[in-house]
Each structure stands twice: as structure tokens, then as C-alpha cells.
Structure 1
Amino acid sequence: MEFNDQPENYWAWKTSFRSVTDELTLSPREELDLLIKWLGPASKEQARRIRAINSHNSAAGLSMVWQRLKETYGTPEAVEHSLLKRIEEFPRISNRDNVRLRELGDILLELEYAKEGGYLPGLAYLDTSRGVNPILEKLPFSLQEKWISQGSKYKECNHVPYPPFTFFSQFIRSEAKTRNDPSFMISQAHYSGPTKTERPTRYNNKSYGSRQTMPLAQKPHALRKCRTFRSKPIEERKTYLREKNICFRCCGSTNHRAKDCDKEIVCRECGSKTHTSALHPGPAPWFSEVSADQGEEEETHETPPGTLPAVTSKCTEVCGGNTNAKSCCRICLVKVYPEDHPGKVIQTYVVLDDQSNCSLARPEFFDHFGLYEKASPYTLKTCAGVMETSGRRATNFVVESFDGKIRIKLPTLIECEMIPDDRAEIPTPEIARYFPHLRHVADKIPPLNENAQILILLGRDILRVHKVRQQ
């Protein structure tokens, strides 16, 4: 009957304790002594201090102890925080960790009962994708795929924005029951897949870069050339790499981490040297790309059946000579550094986008400055729709013009992988000299810096950079 200092168990423990003490008809002093005996380490220490203060009035001390326990462990906020913290701290589940999946199901059932009790209003957000996605990220990739299928069917059949938490909880418990059924347990000795000592990791000699049968497409080719992999959304591709312990940079080896990868890579779709074509965030290249200069030209990529064409819209073009089509996107070469460490400066290109209400930065920016704090969730609205995602935050940074004449403190930068990364859109002196009306500003445009990446997008939260001062 000892209290374990867990808020979610407080009310049940209090009911049990009260039922026992009521039958014994104890005095306030005796009840206080018995209460302290069965409290947990943290709550017991608080009760002892209160008893010492009220050594001459046991009734007042007993009342104060119960009041303190209620404030510390019995409020809805304390119970909600304790329950959600258990989910937050729950470890990621591997494909064959069936016991841990059952433990997660038990916790979700506890959350479900607490939510249905009606005294924890803060748990209502569990009925949305924002509440379920952090739990979903702890599941194996195969279960994530299965939930997406079942959740979508539930939405379509019941005409709701998102399946209720009760349905998700039942889904996890059903999968845990199936996977822990002894009738369907596959003996490790007869299991044809990798054993615990053979499981591919980033530190053994197995590589996904060789020509072998890929799990996604069941065809003998490298992952970086897998069309099935490339067709999936960027978040699903990253989840797959994480599940298979494949390098996030080259997508071709399990021998090293992305930060230790020394392979020369380049994205064939945008020219970036920070990711391969397999991890390009945009749509797959075989999705038809319609632009002003294509006309009725025959599509050169095979379009998979059932796919829709992707339309690229450019508001203006610079054509003629050997120049490529250019949009009017404003991209500038700048210097960025922490406000308190000006020596840690990097040169980078920034995109000026007054259609964005927040300023963003690519993951490479956070990795360069060693910003590894926990990511926070946010909602990203684009032309493709609304998606729930998460990212790190960067504060106290300064942006400086390339000539050093202007310095501006940046607002909080939010991590986002969807920043446009098309280096072909960067303005250069050569392009400006091609047009008579732009030749007089060509010397104000710095030459193309091959080593500087497009890492930052500046939105409306830094209006100063969007103001046109001369025309």
C-alpha cells in the first residue's frame, strides 16, 4: 500500500488508505504517523517537515499533509504531466521488441481511461495528430505504415478530421497481442533474417550501397537509385533510413554516421552538395514538371501509373543566350554568426520570402553550430497542404551583409528542411551584365560562392530586410 510518488496513482492510493484508517478509528497523531510510514521518499520528506512544524497540533498537521499531497500529486495538471512524461520518456521500439510494444499498450490504456474520466481536460489533444504523432514516432516503420492505412480508412468511413485516441490505443494493444501470441512466435534459431549479432548497424561491414535486393522495391539496386524509395514523402524516407541505420548523407552505407561521411555527393535535382537525389525534399523527378518553356515537348521520364503532375510556377523569367530560366526569388550572400561569438562566422545564402510569417533554417545550420537541443512541434502550411512537423530553435544570431555595412539581429530561426535549395536561382554578376538595364548593379552582386549553401529563409518576422530602399 506504499505510495510511489506518481500523480496518476495518487487518488487510488488515497481511497485505499482512507478505507483502512476509517476502520481502525485512529487518532490524528496515529493517522499522521501511519500516513508518513506508507508515503514514498519525496512525499514522506514533505510530510515529516509538516509534522515537525505542527508537533503540538496533530490534527492541523494531518490536514496540512493531505492538502500538500493534493497540491503536489492530485491536481489535473500534475497527473497529466506525469502520464505524458511516461510517454515522452518511453524508448523507441525496434521491429522485434514485442514485449516493449505491450508495455506501451498498457500505458496507452491508462491514458485512455484517464482521458475518459473527464477530470483531465488537457488530454483532449490526444484526439489529434499532434497528440498521436510523438507516440507514433516511437513505433517500428512497419507499424507506422499500418497505422497510416488504418487511420485513413477510419477517417474516410467516419468522416472525422482524425481518428480518436481510443481507436489508436486499441490498434496498439491489438498489434501487441498479436505479436506476443506464442502461437506465432518465430524461433530465433529458425529466423532467416539477421540475428542480434548480425543486425546491420553503422559500425559493421554491411552496406546498402551495393547492388542487392532492397526491402522497399524487392529489386537488386542501390537505395540511392530506388524509385520506390524516392517516391515516398521525405519524412517516410528518413524514418526508413533511421530504422535501417543507413547514413543520412550518402544513403549508401551502414558503416558510418552522417557527420563522419566523407563521400562526395551531389543532388542531381537541385545541385546541392548536402544531400543525395534520394533525399531531395521535392516531388520525384518523374512527376511531370510543367513550365513555360516546355510547351508540348515529350516527357523524358517514365511517369508511374496513378501519379499526378507537379507544376512549377515561376513569376518571371530571364531568357536568351546561354542563361537558364531564372525566377525573381531574392537570394543574397551574407555572413551569419552567434551574437556572443562573432568569430564563429559562416558565409551562407539567405532567401528573402515575405510570404512566410517565420524565419527558417535548414538542419545543416543547426548541426554546424552544434545546436542539438530537443525539437519542438509546429504546423507547416505550404501549397501542398498542412503538415505537423517539429524542429529545433536557434536564437541570438546576427546576419551581416557581405560588405559588412549592415548588421541585423535575427529572430528565432526554426529548423525546416523545406527551404528552397535551387542554386540555379542565385543571382550572379554574369547574369546582371547580360542585360543592359542591370549592368550598373553587376558590381554590387558578389560572385557565386561554391562553398556557401542556402541555409536560411527570412520571413516577415524580420521586416527590415524586405523593405525596398532604392529602385
Structure 2
Amino acid sequence: MEKLAEALEKMAHVYDSDLPTFTGAVNEWLPFKAAVRDTTSMYHISAAENLQRLRSALKGEARDAVAALLHTATDPEVIMKTLEQCFGRPETIIDRTLDELKKMPRLGSTATELNSFAIKVQNAICVLENMDRRGYLYNPMLTREVLEKLSPHLRSRWCDYASEREQTKEPEIVLLSRFLMREADRALKYTYAPSEGSPPAPRKEVKTYVSQQKQKKKASKVYTIIDNSERNPSCQACEANHLLTRCPKYDTWTIDQRWNFVREKKICFKCAQKTHKRSFCKAKSCGVDECRRPHYASLHQTREKTAAVESEPAVQKKEAVLSVACQAAAGPRAVLLKMCPVVIAGPRGEVRTYALLDEGATITLVDEDLAASIGAEGPARPLQLHGVNMKQREKDSKLVTIQIRGVKTTTPHPLRARTMKDLKLHQQSIPESLMKLKHLQDLPQDEICYELARPGILVGSDHWEHIVSRELRVGGPNEPAASKTQLGWVVHGTTPRHLIMKIENVLHVYEPERSEDRELHDLVEKHFRIEALGIASEPRVSEADRRAISTVEKTVKKINCGYEVGLPWRSDKMNMPPSYDAALRRLRQIERKMDASPDFAREYTAQIDNLLSKRYATECDGSERSSDVCWYLPHFAVKNPNKPGKQRLVFDAAAKCYGVSLNDGRS
């Protein structure tokens, strides 16, 4: 009975438990979190129901972040903590709130604008109060950002409001928010400002003769004729209720049968649907194979190009070959390609040459003269070479078969290659000094080292078994690697240029000058000097720079730890307004914050003690008040969110008293 009563009670209390949509935006997190918390406690929603609600409410990035958790029946609290870690970080929300405060426009003169401004400030302060963990509310720069957007009259009223509540321990920005809400409420009550949703008062429109004539022209009637027969399309081929282009019978016809049918029925060639004129049809052109003729795509006729195909040789194929060697200006590093000495053989004997092992080439190439020297012959086939911004055609290329082996091996390997006339590949040298590297010391120098070698054969990826590394040795950074292939060891990679470049000989020639030539040179140089023409160049110095230089020259003096220089004032007779009360009010705010946070008080006191111990600041004895330039400088502490635990002391030289700041008095 108790369970039945609970079920009836739940059925009696119908509630709306749907959650707002959350996509991962920063401004959506707080309302979404509050909705989950409040509805769960208010309607006693179970964990399974909350999980289902989260599946329906999460969209976009928020759903992607917890997609796996949503489908594994995870505890909803784990999902909410994950979402808060990704999208509800306090510092992110606070930074967005501070940016919104800074981007608010200056306050206007109407009561409605004042009310809107005050509400925005109140909302921002509410967010900061709920999520502030590092004392952002006590930052005086935040209050200054809002005060700079107020009118002079409101600033004056704020001064009276703040002085009456000087003893309160609340942050200054909270007091400012209450002040703005109070002023907005009074302005809306006693200035009779219209609400934001009320429509503006209707204005009487003055109609002129010209406007009346324009209205008469606009009111002219236009009659059109509509062909109702085209509204309900019917197929001209089978008279069914569909378009001709979708007719199954039409699809089975050949192109010639379709053309004969549309000509007979006088159907538009362009749309193949209606019987209007082709010149008035708005359908697009054919577009098949880039055809621009005014007919429908199903009426397109392909042109056979058998003659052009038959004219090409049947054996012609395009084979891509790519081998890049940098010939740019010399830099600090050089690049070594995979080159090794090899022996190639044919019917007429053997020849020693060098092979370039190029994994970027799709075929193997051999120099035509080199192949002829060993008697390699084969059928002639045209060859099309493709490279980086390069195309080349070899009409007399031959497909030959040769034998290749390394200089240290005796077993030859068959190799199919294409001949190419004047095969000019990258020239390269590997000196013996390179073998002093630790990982190359035990390799055979006579096999690896060579000087100004130019390959006569390029082994491509069609013979990958000769290119692939069987053993690899790697040194330190900027040192080449050594790979053992089927044809022998190869050194490749980057290396310092000075290890493979020879020392060039330089001849210095010195020719002694004659005395008469030197005298002539001095006379010409003296003649063309600027001072000889009566012109002297003097640098322009501004008045502020001139005063600063004069201040340094008059007041600089050496002390025990360095030099001391006076402040550069804008004028010699500078009178600063009294600033004691303003600085004292700022100091009391700092003391209230220190009373509320012992950690802040300890760090702040340490900063002041550091200034006094290093004699960057000294205690006043009271004689400074008689000076005309006496100024009490406020100070406050700031923290960088990116450097937690570090507090920095800032002297506010921009703080104004009676409209004047310390920065205004200095040049």
C-alpha cells in the first residue's frame, strides 16, 4: 500500500524535468549545472533518470567529451564532474566575465541604459562571488574599469556613496554594483522612462506630393497569365503522373530515339519536360564531359575519338621518375644521397660505375653510352618522364637487361632498366674524414669513400630488393647514417658541410698605394664633406627630452650602491594636489582584505619588508608634507592566473586625486 501511495503521489505531481541543452559553451555551464542540481533535489530524480536526461540534453562538444560515459551507465555525478573539468573551470568562467565587463560600452544618458548597465554589472558580480577563489573581487583595476564607463555626475555620486560606507568589509566592486542598482531604480521611478518592450510612440507622417506619386506608382496592378496545364506534370511517353526524364520507358530508349521523340512532341531540348520555347527556359546546360550545348543531360551524345587513339603506339606508357638533388646556395648542412660503387656486366664485359638508390623513382634508368659499352641491347620503346614541374620524352629508350653486383660481392643480380641519353645525376663526394665518426669507423673505406662520383645508373623502386636497408647505423644529431644494402654499404643523410668540402685556396694580392694618389683622395674627401658646404646636421630634440636631459645633468649624483637621479617633472614649479585622504582610503581597503585573508596579509607584508630591507623604500619622517610635489602613492597586489602562488606589489601611479595623477605630473 505504501508503494502504491508513493506511485499515486508521483503521478499526481506532474513536473517538467527536462534539462536545458548544453553544447559546451562557457556561458551555458552555470544554468545547466543549477538545473541539474535543483531538479534532482526538488523532484527526487534517480540516477538512472538523470543519466537519461543527460543523454537528451548534451549536444556538440559536450556530448563528444562524455560520449563513452553516457553509454556505459556511468554515475551521473562522474559525468557532471567530467563536464565541469572540461567546460566549467572557474578561471575560464571568471576570465569570460571580466572580458564582458571590459567590453561593455560607455553608459548613456537615459534611465533605460543605466538600468541595463547596472544589471550587467550585477550579473557579473554574482558570477564572481560564486566562483571567486583568488580574490578577483578585491582587484581595484576591476572597479576602475567600471568607473571609467560612468558619467562625471555618477562618479561624483559614487564618491559620496562610498565615503558613507567606508567601514564596510565588502569589496569595492560589490558596493559599486549596489550603487548602480539603486541609481537605476530611482531613475526608472522618477524620470518616467518607457520600458524596453513598449513600442515607440507613433509619429505623424508628413506626406509630400512626391511621396504620394510614388505610392500611386507602387499600387499599380500587374496581370500575368499562368498555364495550368504545366502545374500537374504528365509524362508525354506513357501519360503517367511523372516527368519525362523519370519515365522508365524513356530510360530504355537510345539517344537517337530520345531526340526523335522530343522533336516530334515539340518538347524543350533544354529541360526535356515542358513544351515552352528553349530561349525562355531557365534550365542549366548539359554539363556532361564539360559540354555547354543547350540540351538536357540525357540527350548528350558522346563523340568517339578512335582516330586519335589509333594514332598512338600501343606500347606507349607514361612512367613517372622522380629524383631531386638540391643545388641551392651552400648552407651549414649538406645532404648525402644513397650512392655506392657497383659493377654492371653485359655481353661485352664488365664496367665499374656508381649507382644511385632512389626510392622516389618508379623505374630503373641506365646511361645509354654505359649500356652500349657492355653490349646491353633490347627493344626500343618510347619513355615519358615526369618529375617536379618537369616532363621529358625519350623516343629511343630501350628496355635492357643487365647484371649488377657490389664491388665487394661476387654474386650478380639481374636488373631490367630503361636507357636514357645523357643521364646526368647528382655528383657527390664522401671523404675519408667522414669515417672518423664513431659509428662509421669499422666500415670499409674503399667501398664507401669516393670523390666527385657521378652515378651511371639509377636504381628505382621496381628493384626494391637492392634499395632496402638490411642493417642500419645511426649516429648523433646532424650526423649521417649508414645502411647496408644488397649492393654494399651506403652513407646517406645530413652532415656538416665543412666535413665534406675541401679547403679552398685563396690568393691575397696587395698593391701599395702611391703617396700622390693618397693626397688626391684626401682632397676629394674633404671637398665633399657636409661641413665644407656650410651645412651642419643637428639632431632634433623635443622639449620633454631636453627637460629630461637637463634634470639628469643637474640632479645626478653618485651614492654607495650606484647613482641617484631626480624625478623629471613637467615644469619647474609643479604643485601637486593633496592626496593623503585618497591614499589612506585605499590603504584601509588593503587592511580589510588582509584581515579577511591571513595568507594574503603574510605575502603582502613580506613584499613591504623586502622593499625596506633592500632600501628601495624608506620610512617617512613627516618633513615631506611641506613639499609642493608631495604625493601619497597607493599600492595594491595582483596575481597572475598563469603563475599561482606568486603575488606582485604594484604602485598605482595612475590613481587620480582631484583629476590629477602622478603620471600627469611627470614628463
With normalisation by structure 1, the TM-score equals 0.35
Larger Rg: 2
Considering Cα pairs closer than 8 Å and 6+ residues apart, tell me whether 1 or 2 has the greater RCO: 1
With normalisation by structure 2, the TM-score equals 0.26
